[in-house]
Amino acid sequence: MRNFYLLGLIILFACHSPKKAVLTKSNSITIVKDSVPQADSTALVLINKYKKHLDKQMNEVIAESIFDLKKELPEGALGNMVSDVLIKYANRKPENKPDFCVLNHGGLRIPVIYKGEISIRTIYELLPFENMLVMVELKGEDCRKLFDLIADSKGAPVAGITMVIQNGKAEEVKINGENFDPNKTYKILTSDYIANGGDHADMMKNAVSTFQYDIKLRDAVIQELRLLTKDGGKLINQKDGRIKVQ
């Protein structure tokens, strides 16, 4: 037994590789203030020129809201405003008028626009993505799937439609005041993100037809708000019960 014990110790120490110390060398560099290149004065003048021009554009006031516009579910004044404004924009194209509008709640990127003046900068903050405005024509059976998706999502920004959410399903759906007809086709104003199946809107891939407005959502909103202000109008959007939960 003793021989086996000694043999084990010999194998243990023979297999163990001692760690080697590694010598590293570092150098410190002293940065002298005068050695740091100064900003090019010509470049700064050019940058400031464009910055002032951009700030002037972004700070332009294009509308005024009477109330705070909040992002909420199942509906909110902010989502109602954006959807209503986009419907108004689309209705100016008589050859392609939508029946209703559906947007995604997550596409609105600020929680509230406070009452008072609204600038272009605010609309860019609200809709920062490059989403395009489109219209998708769907059969009634696919519209039903869209309504149930809205119900399952606990609401969405919509216009031209009312519904009641019961047990995660859309009930009492009306399109512009008329009962939803599953045997009809409907034209839905939305973003290209939703039209391409974003946010689980897979039914959009079954579109009968698709129309491109060739304008970004935020640009359409900006144009429409400018027209509203030009005509002396102000935003009065509030929650109106277009989507209810029971």
Q: What is the pLDDT of residues 174-232, one digit of tens each?
A: 999 999 999 999 999 999 999 999 999 999 999 999 999 999 999 999 999 999 999 99
d(CA 198, CA 5): 70
Shortest CA distance to 153 belongs to which of 87, 198, 109, 217? 198
What phi, psi does 219 have (nearest 5°)?
A: -70, -35
Shortest CA distance to 166 belongs to which of 177, 186, 152? 152
Query: What's the pLDDT band for 129 if we cut at 50, 70, 90?
Result: very high
How confident is the model over 77-125, as pLDDT tens digits? 999 999 999 999 999 987 789 999 999 999 999 999 999 999 999 999 9
> Which residues fall within 8 angstroms of residue 160, CB to CB, at 6 or more apart?
87, 98, 99, 100, 101, 175, 176
Which residue matches tokens 């605010």? 122
* Separation of CA 86 from chain center: 15
Single pTM value for the model? 0.79
What phi, psi does 244 have (nearest 5°)?
A: -120, 155
The sign of the CA dihedral 64, 66, 70, 72 is: negative
- Which has the minimum average pLDDT: 38-52, 124-138, 188-202? 38-52
Do residues 208 and 142 make contact, with C-beta atoms less than 8 angstroms apart?
no
CATH assignment of 52-245, given 3.90.780.10, 3.40.50.720, 3.20.10.10, 3.40.50.2300? 3.90.780.10
